[in-house]
Amino acid sequence: MKFRFVELSVLIAAQIMLAGAARAEFQLAPARGNVTITQETSHFWKDLWDTLSGHRPRLSGDLLVVVKDSSTGLPIPGAQVMVGEARGVPFEGNTATTDGEGVAAFTHAVLREGKTVTVTASRDGYANLSVLNARGNRMEIGLVRQAPAAWAFLDGDVKGWPTGLDRKTLEVGFFLPGVRPETLLNFDPYQIVSSYRVEIDVYGKRLVPGNVVMPPQDKTYMIFPVHIEKPSYIMPVPTGFEAHLTAIAGNVPLGKAMDAMKEKDFLAVLNLTTLTHVTWTPRARVNGNMRNDLTLDIPLRQKAATASFANVPGKMDVVAISMADPSGDRGDFAPLDVKSIKSEAMKGGRGSVALALPAQQRQDDSHWVFAALFDRSQFIRRKGGRMA
């Protein structure tokens, strides 16, 4: 998905260039009680924030290597760069890891002699690339993304659904692997629903995303009785993927959900859902097919965090996500609530999105809010639909 540069204020706003003319504004900040968004002072997020907002001091050195995705033009953080034919040759310290802007810096007398060198860049998920006879003090390397060597299927049942809902309210949930920090740098709302589809009978045969779950339930749609059942999730992920496995669930008016499902717009279903419960597993590494039954054991409190926006131009969609950091290391985040708002629903380009957080919070729990602004035309061209 391409982003469009716009003016956005989320208390603390960042202007972020992602690739060439494709730009976006977004914010990631701690969520504490009803405080909207505040800037974190820890080094990890301060560095990430400074990098994204363009405030980070530029790296300097005798050789700067910029590593980008060859198809998107986006910088690749965490890539390994080596200058020379082997580690320690032609000088000690000839390897480095790219920062949040995809830049690795090298300083050594050898590089000031004007001789040519070999520069190699590598990153998991990409083909390694070596540039021979490189010369100069700055170079750019574009890595080609590899198709995953293997895929594995995650599947299981989601249990522990709340009871007492009427026949015109649908119970629905979503299985979501944890969101890694690098994913937020190039966030795509359509990552939320799986492209892997399964067929179920919901007032007619329908293809639904494999990560959508609905417990057995008898409802009334218009005047007709309807049985709805999809208690299991199934979703392919690349082997080697490592994150917390999360399920969020809640309820939505059946009529609105059916209208969205007819349009095959499950992002709209999620947006319309009042999410009431969540659960997650310990962080897991996927080495093959895995089955995990998940029990919805963490109640959510509605409107516990808010993302506020101003100066939003027309035909834009704001997407906000509240997230937990289950391991406390910011290695990946468990989604808690996902909501969107259209610019047309805002008065004078101002609005807010209310999000849920766990009802019971311990002092050392860490929760975050991510908010971004997206060009709606990209939604329409991408999938033929958008969040309601």
Domain CATH for 130:
2.60.40.1120
Do residues 98 and 246 share a domain? Answer: no
Instruction: Indicate the Cα dihedral angle 1, 262, 321, 234, nearest 10°.
Output: -90
pLDDT for 383: 39
Instruction: Looking at the structure, tell me whether residues 230 and 267 fall in a common domain.
Output: yes
Taking the C-alpha atoms of residue 43 and residue 49, their distance in angstroms, rounded to an integer, is 10
Domain boundary among 102, 136, 170: 136
pLDDT in tens, 298-351: 999 999 988 877 777 777 778 889 999 999 888 889 999 999 888 788 888 788
For residue 176, the SS3 value is strand
Count of domains observed in the chain: 2
Residue that terminates a domain, selected from 136, 167, 190: 136
**Which string of DSSP letters, residue by residue, matches 47-81?**
HHHHHHHT-SPPP-SSEEEEEEETTT--B-TT-EE
pLDDT of the residue at 182: 67
Please list the ranges in the chain whose pLDDT falls under 70: 1-59, 147-149, 182, 185-187, 375-388
What pLDDT does 240 receive?
83
- Do 122 and 171 reside in the same domain of the chain? no
Domain with 363 in it: 151-383
Report the C-alpha gap between 246 and 268 in whole angstroms.
Answer: 20
- For position 195, what pLDDT does the model report? 86
The set of residues, in sequence order, having a beta carbon less than 8 Å from that of 21 and lying 6+ positions away, is: none
Establish if 328 belongs to a structural domain. yes
